[in-house]
Structure formats: structure tokens, C-alpha cells
Amino acid sequence: MTIVITGANRGIGAALLEGYEKAGRGAIGTARSPKGDLAVLDVTDPASQEALAKSLGGHPVELLICNAGVYLEKGQRFATGYAPELWAQTFATNVTGVFLTIQALMPNLKLAEGAKIAIISSQMASDTKATGGSYIYRASKAAALNLGRNLATDLKKQGIAVGIYHPGWVKTDMGGAGADIGTTEAAAGLIARFDALSLETTGCFETWDGRAHPF
């Protein structure tokens, strides 16, 4: 089984890669500036996407985990912050990057029987969690959720399931030291969710610990 994980150089992505490797399940981790055995992938660059797809050749990909993401607006003030370039950079990674990755690796996904796509979004994408602030990140993760839901509709007829997930509030560079859970716990829960994903549950929006999340 071949699994591709974007943004696997740190945080949740690195923990997912480690979890699959410890379980003896083949996984390819990617990063924009990789170290070690990671493959090169800048999700915002179509040429980088094309190069990754070419390196995989005609190899089936059973699971694509779109995990790469950025949160660039910490400390921004409403009156003077949230510059247009922050919006552009965030959406390029968190939304367009997800689509480009799926688009580039679609031939590989089609080669696998029962292929799956997992999109890491956030509870901050939900209309029911509108607690204010983080406008760019919230908007980008809401767009990723919407993208995943619509891809689920279109790809179901091709036998490919799509799930969207809230990974929890995780102790990473993005989540901070005061977060609820560690990366290992989050990754273990997410892996269980990905294993359970099927055409019957395609389009789901779930938490790392298996609860349906309100849209």
C-alpha cells in the first residue's frame, strides 16, 4: 500500500509518516525543503507537482493525505493587518495546493482499487465555530472543507473516497505548547479515521477521535 503525505517534515505530517512507518505501511512523505528521505513537493508550484507525479510514474497511490498548510496571520491587528499577500499565500497553500496535489496524482489514485483522499482542515472551518479572529486561516480551511465535499461528490463515481478532518488542537509550531494533545496521539486517531473512510462515508467531516464535526 502506497501512501503520500504532504507537509511531512514536521508536526502532524511527520507524526503520520512515523506512524505508518512503524506499522510497516509504505508511505512517502513530502516537503517543500525536504531532509532525509522526504520527497520534494511545493504544493503551490505546478511544476513541483508535475515532478512528483512523474517520479511516481505508473505507481498506484491508495491514500493521499493533503496535510501541508500554513497559518501566517498570528499577531495581526484588524485595523492594520491581514495584508493581501497573506491571503494569497495562505490560500495558495491551504486551498489551491490541495487541489493541485489531487489533480496531479489523480492518475495514480485511479490505478489503486479503493483509493482515498484525506484533507486536513480544521474545526475553524466550521460555521458553528465562528469565535472570531484568524480570518485568513479560517476562510482557507472553510474553503478546503468545501473543496473536499465537492470532490467527494464528483470522485465517488470513480470509486475514490474523500474525507475531511479536524486533527485536534495539537502541540505543534502552529498549535502552540498549550494545545490539548500531542502529535503522536493526533496521528494515531487520524490514521484510524483514514482506515475507516469508505465510499459510504465519503464527504465526511470528522474529528481526529472519530466524532462527526458540524459543518
SS (H, E, C) 154-187: HHHCCCCEEEEEECCCECCCCCCCCCCECHHHHH
Count of the separate structural domains present in the chain:
1
CATH of the domain at 157: 3.40.50.720
Nearest to 205, CA basis, from 176, 154, 163, 170: 163
Decide if 29 contacts 39 (C-beta within 8 A).
Answer: yes
60 in a structural domain:
yes
What are the pLDDT digits (tens) for 91-115?
A: 999 999 999 999 999 999 999 999 9
Average pLDDT rounded to a whole number, residues 165-170:
88
What are the pLDDT digits (tens) for 177-196?
A: 666 788 999 999 999 999 99
Q: Which domain holds residue 201?
A: 3-207
What are the pLDDT digits (tens) for 41-55?
A: 999 999 999 999 999
- Cβ neighbourhood burial of 57 (10 Å; 0-12, 13-18, 19+): exposed
Pairing of strands 116-120, 27-31: unpaired
Confidence of residue 170 (pLDDT cuts 50, 70, 90): confident
Q: Is the pLDDT of residue 129 over 90?
A: no
Percentage of the residues of the chain whose pLDDT score is greater than 90: 87
143 in a structural domain:
yes
Q: What is the pLDDT of residue 19?
A: 96
212 in a structural domain:
no
46 in a structural domain:
yes
What are the pLDDT digits (tens) for 5-22?
A: 999 999 999 999 999 999
Q: What is the pLDDT of residue 116?
A: 98
The answer to whether the Cα torsion of 13, 16, 22, 24 is positive or negative is negative
191 in a structural domain:
yes
136 in a structural domain:
yes
215 in a structural domain:
no
213 in a structural domain:
no
